[in-house]
Amino acid sequence: MSQKYFGTDGIRGRVGEGMMMPEVVLKLGWAIGKVLAAQGNGLVVVGKDTRISGYMFESALEAGLSAAGVDVRLLGPMPTPGIAYLTRTLRASAGIVISASHNPFNDNGIKIFSGEGEKLPDETELAIEKAFEEEMTTAESSKLGKATRVIDAHGRYIEACKASIPIGTRFAGLKVVLDCANGATYHIAPDVFLELGAEVVSIANMPDGLNINEACGSTHPENLQQAVLAHQADLGIAFDGDGDRVAMVDHRGRIIDGDEILYLIACSRHQSGQSQAGVVGTLMSNMGLELAIKAMGLEFERSGVGDRFVLELLKQKDWSLGGESSGHIICLDRTTTGDGIVSALQVMAYLAESQQSLAEALSGMTKMPQHMINVSLPFKTDPLQNQQVLDAVQAAELELKDRGRVLLRASGTEPLIRVMVEGEIESQVIELAQTIAAAVSDSVAAMAG
C-alpha cells in the first residue's frame, strides 16, 4: 500500500487549505498519539520553525496528542535536525517537526521522526493514516496526556553541534557571516560559532513569523555574498528555514554548493584517517565531485534526487557520508539526518586544522559545466521511448565519451522533463542540451498530433 497523506518528506501545503487546517492537524495529532499509545509508547516531542502558523499547529498537535493519552514535550523554535536529536536524547517515541523547510511563510508542514531520530517506517505512517480516517475519541480524563515545555532545548542542541567536531578545535581568528534565513537557526547557529571562538556577523536572524526564507538563506545567498565582501569575512554560511540545508560563500563572494561542501567533508575524513569506503551523491551531483572523490581512492555512488534516497543508499552501502548539491548533507557518523550547522562545522574544522581558506581547500575539485533545460509536457509521457530522443542522447554520450553525462528525468512536482548535460567544455554542453531538448519537444509535439 502507498501512503495517502504522507509524501516523501511528510505532509506539506498552503496554510488554511487541505491538510494544513488546524482542525485537521488536531486530528492528525490524535491519530499519531493513538498509534503510538497502542504500541506502548507515551511521549512525543514537538518542535517548529519560525513561521507564524507554527503557533496554531503546535497547539493543535498538543491537543490531539493529549486527547489520545500521550505526553508532549514542546521544544519551541528548533532546527529540524535538533528535533531529531532531542527525540533520541529525551527517549521519546517520536518527534514532530512543524515546518515547510525552504518554502515561504504561508506554507507549512508536518514531518515525523521515529524514536531513533529517523524517518518513520512506512508501516507506522500507514497505521497513522488508518487511524486518521477513524472517528476521533478522547481518552478518559485520568489518562489524558500532559504537556510541558523543554526550556533548555536550544542549549542541549548547541552542545550536540559543538560535540560533532574534535574537542580542541577553535575558530579563533576566523570571521564568519551567518545567514539564518529568519528561521529556526536564528538563536542557535550564532552561539555555536561564537562559543567555538569565531568572530560572528549574523544576518537574517530576526524572524517575525512572516519573513522566513524571504530573499535570504541557502536558497537566496545573494545577501550573504554581499555581507561577506562588505565585512571582509573569511567565509559565509547560509541555512534554510528549518536548518537542514547549508550553502557557503568564500572570501571572494563565490557560492559554495552542497557538492563542494560534501567534497570538503570527505577530504576532512580522509586526511584525519577516518575509515570511509565511499560517498553518496545524487543523479544531479556534479561529475567534478565524482572524479574528485575517486581521486582519493574512494567509491562514489549516485542515489535518486532527495535526501531520503541518499540516506537509503548510505544504509545499504554501510557508508556514513552523502548529500545533495542543494546542501542537504548527511554525516551519519555525527547525526541521523541532514544538519546544516553540523555540516558547516565539519568544513570549518577542516579549514582550521589545515590552515587553508575555503577557496584553497577546494583546489582539488573542479566542477564541470552543467546545463539544464526544462521541457514542458502537455501530457504524461516517457521521452526515452522515442527513437529520435534516444538517438540524440546516444550521439551526445558518444561526443562526451567518459568525461561527461546526459540525464533526462521527470520533475516530481511539475509537468516537465529536465534535460541535463554535463561535460568539460561549456559551449559543447549547452549545444548538446539544446539538441536533446529539441528532440524531446519534437517527440512530444508528434505524439500530440
Return d(Cα 203, Cα 177) in angstroms, integer. Answer: 7
Catalytic residue among 93, 99, 101, 303: 101
At 376 the pLDDT is: 84
User: Quick check: 61 pLDDT over 90?
Assistant: yes
At 428 the pLDDT is: 94
Q: Which of 33-42, 108-117, 133-142 has the lowest mean pLDDT?
A: 33-42
At 228 the pLDDT is: 98
Q: What is the CATH number of domain 370-448?
A: 3.30.310.50
Section 392-411 average pLDDT: 89
Query: Where along the chain do its domains lie?
Result: 11-151, 157-364, 370-448
| Rounded percentage of the chain residues whose pLDDT exceeds 70 | 98
Same fold, 11-151 and 370-448: no
> What tens digit of pLDDT does each residue of 272-300 get?
888 789 999 999 999 999 999 999 999 99
Q: What is the CATH number of domain 11-151?
A: 3.40.120.10
> What tens digit of pLDDT does each residue of 235-273 get?
999 999 999 999 999 999 999 999 999 999 999 999 888
> What tens digit of pLDDT does each residue of 407-447 get?
998 776 677 888 999 999 999 999 999 999 999 888 877 77
Q: What is the CATH number of domain 157-364?
A: 3.40.120.10
Instruction: Indicate if 53 belongs to the active site.
Output: no
Cell numbers linked to 42: 507515551
At 10 the pLDDT is: 85
